[in-house]
Amino acid sequence: MIRSLRAVSRLGARGFSSFAAARQENTTVGTTYQEELDVVNQLKGSVTADDVTRLARMRNIGISAHIDSGKTTFSERILFYTGRTKEIHEVRGKDGVGAKMDHMDLEREKGITIQSAATYATWIKENQDYHFNVIDTPGHIDFTIEVERALRVLDGAVLVVCAVSGVQSQTMTVDRQMRRYNVPRVTFINKMDRMGADPWKAIDQINAKLKTRAAAIQVPIGSEGDLAGVVDIVKEVAYYNDGASGETIRVAEIPEDLKELVAEKRDLLIQTLADVDDEIAECYILEETPTEEQLRGAIRRATIARTFTPVLMGSALANRGVQPVLDAICEYLPDPSDVVNTALDIKKDETPVHLTPAAKAPFVGLAFKLEDGKYGQLTYLRVYQGQLKKGMSIINAKTGKKTKLARLVRMHSDEMEDVDSVGAGEICATFGVDCASGDTFTDGEVTYSMSSMFVPDPVISLAITPKDKGSLTNFSKAMNRFQKEDPTFRVHFDAESKETIISGMGELHLEIYVERMKREYNVVCETGKPQVAYRETITTAAPLDFTHKRQSGGAGQYARIIGEMSPVTDMNAVNEGKATFAAENIFKSEIVGGKIPEKFILACDRSFHETAEKGPLTGSRVLGVEMLINDGNTHVVDSSELAFKVATQRGFYETFMQCSPVILEPIMTVTLTAPVEFQGALIALMNKNQALISDQDIGSEEVTLSGECSLNQMFGFATHLRACTQGKGEFSLEFSHYAPCSPHLQKELVDAHQKKLQAERDGK
């Protein structure tokens, strides 16, 4: 109480109010983390001293960012400085080699990461070896599943942010993915050597846009082309990068002209940590200066608790400030024993079980990525518990299939290093395992299953046909392989149009797979016009009363269902912009007294969900519809499951058309970036595509526009953007929500669907 009164007198009413609010907010987060910490300490008590020592020096990290923020360039420096590669290769490098982590020809040609790549490296810090499992992930939203599955199995991450552009659209997407899997991160502000670099603006954006408390633990020495190194705010020393590739770190005193700025940023760091850490809050209230050890401990605790992110800065391309990030990974990100990993015990009604990162515990691992290599299917595994050894047998928890491991490898991009065993907390790969991405494996001693990663629904489709009918075998092989590798890539055969339809996350996504078919399977394909994944729904309720009768001699068919069809979504909230359309369909039964037998109700339920896969307007999937059956009739002889199934299907179609049906189209979040002189051209282009501009960020060199636009308007957008910005503009798309399309477009889509059905009936 005395300390609180002192705090009021020192901070003033306004200062204490905001401070107290921040502490109160942290209490909720801290309670959750405290529960995790209790579990972690309990699990650590059951592992051996050797396990604790081994795990303490291990880090599983991913590198994620917006497109072209420098992830792969940063990864190349990690490989070089840890001794994994002997020289640095650049993305689209002039030496013709290309970046090590971009091993596909398509990646090197386009200068983008398409598949996540894993590697294993060792970093020496304070005479101790730290072992890194590093996964470099794509930045383009079309390959978001690669980020999802990487973050699913990682313990920490490095979020790379451009010093010029700051927080961009995909940065926010990656932030959401990290939160989904509770992955703590350190932030690296890259491209500090570029003109217009402003790390303090980027930190403000991290706090404001990502809603994450962030503070710098470094101050740059020099700026833009004169960037020479960084000052460590915590240790209060300067680090300079010397040598041809910045491989030598020279430690020196803080330059005189930076001492005032360093003191200011150190105070800001302490204030930010006081909001999220009790020990620093105590020092802050008592006006004591925290020691270096106290600051380092607080940063680590708050980072692992996901209430704070330390911000480092430098330039990967200019070889400045990368080694301190490796030190920060060792110091502030969790090791595998600091993270709670949970599985479900299938034999005990899926009771949650905390996995112990001990070598002697029963083996539990997760297959998170599949690749088709020259030796067959390559399966990436994260070992959560126990030990994986060459020659041992593992069991797929989903299928029960047993497999003996003939080979175990650690990956270095597309290269492999054979190993005899892999311990808990590590990442490896193996061959000859028949599984799907997200399957759990055990040694048979336990029946555990782990949750898989989040897989978004595809938003775009197109028809695809091999030009040469003799290529059908290879075409089929390619389709099967790509579906197993990538859960967001879907393939189905449309029985009505007799076409193979592929679906994915965007034009680039499907374009890459068409190109891979040509290169890897020698199958040249013709593609149709991209089709938008429309949806259908209803906006009003209507009574349902349908009778199905059929008499053809002998036993006939009779079923009557009575009830109501209504929208799941609150249409008033949608119209006010406070809600989006519900994604699920709901079937309810309120039959009493056995008026319709239970087996017929189950048939109605199945028929409802099957019918909702193809709506009556355009044949698109129906969403957000609730069907209630509360009455009906049966016939002693003629009623059957088939009769009620048909009654449900026809009653659904008939009532659907009475409920003011609408066609929903996918709305995308679009972000455009171009030199500032093209600002007017970008606004005109957005208006032409009927986009709703929501944000505009004008920098010294670049302008960024964000908004929402119908996916239907975005086909061929890249060509228009290049034309109006002299090839200097970039854009990214991400699915946001479904919204009703215009009445004019709805009429066009319905008419086109009716013509298609008529043509099929006429045999054309």
pLDDT tens digits, 145-169: 777 777 788 888 999 998 888 888 7
Highest averaged pLDDT of the listed ranges 257-261, 375-379, 636-640: 257-261
Asked if residue 756 is part of any domain, the answer here is: no
Highest averaged pLDDT of the listed ranges 230-234, 347-351, 513-517: 230-234
The arithmetic mean of pLDDT across residues 740-748, rounded, is 89
The reply to whether 443 and 522 lie within a common domain is no
The H or E element that residue 751 is part of is helix 743-761
The rounded distance, in Å, linking the Cα atoms of 526 and 504 is 17
Who has greater pLDDT, 607 or 30? 607
Length of the chain: 764
The reply to whether 213 and 294 lie within a common domain is yes
CB 313 within 8 A of CB 216: yes
The reply to whether 262 and 145 lie within a common domain is yes
The reply to whether 369 and 312 lie within a common domain is no
At 412 the pLDDT is 73
The reply to whether 275 and 403 lie within a common domain is no
Q: What is the CATH number of the domain that holds 615?
A: 3.30.230.10
The reply to whether 256 and 110 lie within a common domain is yes
Quick: pLDDT tens for 576-635: 666 677 778 899 998 887 788 888 999 999 999 999 988 999 888 898 899 999 988 888
CB 569 within 8 A of CB 662: no
At 312 the pLDDT is 93
pLDDT at 309 over 90: yes
Q: Is 26 annotated as a binding residue?
A: no
Contacts of 430 (CB under 8 A, 6+ apart): 378, 379, 381, 405, 407, 408, 409
At 167 the pLDDT is 85
At 501 the pLDDT is 84
* Percentage of residues of the chain with pLDDT beyond 70: 87
| Range of lowest pLDDT (12-26, 343-357, 401-415) | 12-26
pLDDT at 73 over 90: no
Structure confidence at residue 738 as a pLDDT band (50, 70, 90): confident
Structure confidence at residue 29 as a pLDDT band (50, 70, 90): very low
Structure confidence at residue 25 as a pLDDT band (50, 70, 90): very low
The H or E element that residue 589 is part of is strand 586-589
Who has greater pLDDT, 516 or 32? 516
Residue tagged 């946001």 (tokens): 736
The arithmetic mean of pLDDT across residues 262-278, rounded, is 90
The reply to whether 227 and 299 lie within a common domain is yes
Q: What separation in angstroms does the CA of 224 have from each of 196, 202, 245? A: 7, 15, 17
Q: Is 67 annotated as a binding residue?
A: yes
The reply to whether 477 and 565 lie within a common domain is no
Q: What is the CATH number of the domain that holds 478?
A: 3.30.70.870
Q: Is 137 annotated as a binding residue?
A: yes
Q: Is 138 annotated as a binding residue?
A: yes
Q: What is the DSSP letter of 496?
A: T
Per-residue tokens: 548: 């199905």
pLDDT at 28 over 60: no
The residue from 473, 502, 531 where one domain ends is: 531
Asked if residue 279 is part of any domain, the answer here is: yes
Contacts of 622 (CB under 8 A, 6+ apart): 535, 536, 537, 585, 611, 612, 613, 614, 615, 656
The reply to whether 394 and 507 lie within a common domain is no
Report the DSSP pairing between strands 408-412 and 427-431. Answer: antiparallel
At 16 the pLDDT is 31
Quick: pLDDT tens for 637-694: 888 889 999 999 999 999 999 999 999 988 888 888 888 888 888 888 888 888 888 8
Per-residue tokens: 665: 């189209």
pLDDT at 456 over 80: no
Compute the radius of gyration of the chain from its Cα atoms.
29
At 265 the pLDDT is 92
Phi/psi for 180 (5° steps) reads -60, -35
The reply to whether 375 and 506 lie within a common domain is no
The residue from 318, 338, 358 where one domain ends is: 338
Asked if residue 752 is part of any domain, the answer here is: no
The reply to whether 401 and 300 lie within a common domain is no
The 10 Å Cβ neighbour count of residue 559 is 30
The rounded distance, in Å, linking the Cα atoms of 208 and 111 is 31
The rounded distance, in Å, linking the Cα atoms of 409 and 419 is 5
The rounded distance, in Å, linking the Cα atoms of 659 and 565 is 8
The H or E element that residue 4 is part of is helix 2-44
Domain that holds residue 239: 2-338
Nearest to 281 by CA among 24, 14, 41, 13: 24
Structure confidence at residue 543 as a pLDDT band (50, 70, 90): very high
Asked if residue 753 is part of any domain, the answer here is: no
Structure confidence at residue 516 as a pLDDT band (50, 70, 90): confident
Q: Is 70 annotated as a binding residue?
A: yes
Q: What separation in angstroms does the CA of 405 have from each of 371, 385, 401, 420, 430? A: 17, 17, 13, 11, 7
The rounded distance, in Å, linking the Cα atoms of 178 and 169 is 15
Q: What is the DSSP letter of 176?
A: H
Asked if residue 754 is part of any domain, the answer here is: no
Q: What is the CATH number of the domain that holds 686?
A: 3.30.70.240
Asked if residue 455 is part of any domain, the answer here is: no
The residue from 306, 338, 370 where one domain ends is: 338
The arithmetic mean of pLDDT across residues 496-520, rounded, is 79
Q: Is 71 annotated as a binding residue?
A: yes
HEC states along 235-248? CCEEEEEECCCCCE
Structure confidence at residue 32 as a pLDDT band (50, 70, 90): low
At 10 the pLDDT is 30
Asked if residue 763 is part of any domain, the answer here is: no
**Overall number of domains in the chain:** 5
HEC states along 615-680? CCCCCCEECCEEEEEEEEECCCCCCCHHHHHHHHHHHHHHHHCCCCEEEEEEEEEEEEEEEHHHHH
Asked if residue 137 is part of any domain, the answer here is: yes
Q: Is 65 annotated as a binding residue?
A: yes
Q: What separation in angstroms does the CA of 527 have from each of 142, 371, 511, 531? A: 19, 25, 10, 11
The arithmetic mean of pLDDT across residues 549-557, rounded, is 76
Q: What is the CATH number of the domain that holds 192?
A: 3.40.50.300
Could you tell me where the beta strands, DSSP code E, fall in 4-146?
Answer: 58-65, 117-125, 128-136
The H or E element that residue 14 is part of is helix 2-44
pLDDT at 95 over 60: no
At 6 the pLDDT is 31
Q: Is 66 annotated as a binding residue?
A: yes
Q: Is 139 annotated as a binding residue?
A: yes
Average pLDDT, the chain: 81
At 491 the pLDDT is 86
The reply to whether 109 and 169 lie within a common domain is yes
- Tell me if residue 84 falls in helix, strand or coil: coil
- Tell me if residue 708 falls in helix, strand or coil: strand
**Alpha helices (H) along 434-562:** 472-485, 507-521
Structure confidence at residue 329 as a pLDDT band (50, 70, 90): very high
Class of residue 45 by CB neighbours under 10 A (exposed 0-12, middle 13-18, buried 19+):
exposed
Q: Using N-to-C axis directions, what is the helix angle for 259-274 and 292-304, rounded to 10°?
A: 50
Strand partners, 60: 133
